[in-house]
A and B are shown apart, each in its own frame.
Chain A
Amino acid sequence: MTAVSLIALAAFGSVLCIIEIPKMLKAGLRKELIVFLLLLAAGTALAVMKLFSIGIPNPTDFLVWVYSPVSGIMKWLSKSQ
Chain B
Amino acid sequence: MEKKYISGHQLFTLFALSSLGGSVIVASSPMAAVAKQDAWLGALVSAAYGMCVILMFYFIGSRHPGLTLIGILRQVLGKWLGTLFAVCYVLFFLLLSTNLPWYIMDFMGHVMHETPQYAISLPLVLGFAIAVLYGIEVIARASEILIKFVTFIFLASILMVLPNIKPDNLLPVLEGGIVPVLKSSVFLSVYVTFPMVSFLMIFPVNMEDVFGAKKPLLKGFLWSNSVAFISILISLLVLGSGIVSKTKYPTFLLLKEINLLDIFTRIEYFISVLWIITEFVVGALFFYSGAAGLSELLKLKDGNKIVLPLALIVFIMSGVVFPSDVFNMNWLRLGWMPLSITMGLILPLLVLAVYGGKKAVWLIWGK
- On A, residues with C-beta under 8 Å from B are 12, 16, 20, 24, 27, 29, 31-33, 35-36, 39-40, 42-44, 46-47, 50, 56, 58-60, 63-64, 67-68, 70-71, 74-75, 77-81
Contacts and interface: CB of A to CB of B under 8 A. Distances in A.
Given A67-B335, A71-B334, A80-B34, A50 B319 contact: yes
Interface string B84-120: 0000000100010000000000000000000000000
B331 interface: yes
A63 B34 CA distance: 24
B33 A80 contact: yes
A81 B320 CA distance: 34
Interface string B149-173: 0000000000000000000000000
In the A-B complex, the 4 residue pairs with the smallest Cβ-Cβ separation, listed nearest first, are A43-B312, A39-B309, A40-B309, A67-B338
Interface stretch (B45-53, B279-287, B296-304): B296-304
A40, A56, A78 interface centre (most CB from chain B within 10 Å): A78
Interface of B: 30, 33-36, 91, 95, 176, 180, 183, 186-187, 298-302, 305-306, 308-310, 312-313, 316-317, 319-323, 327, 330-331, 333-335, 337-339
Contacts of A63: 95, 331, 335, 339
Contacts of B313: 39, 42-43, 46
Contacts of B334: 64, 67-68, 71, 74-75
A36 B298 CA distance: 12
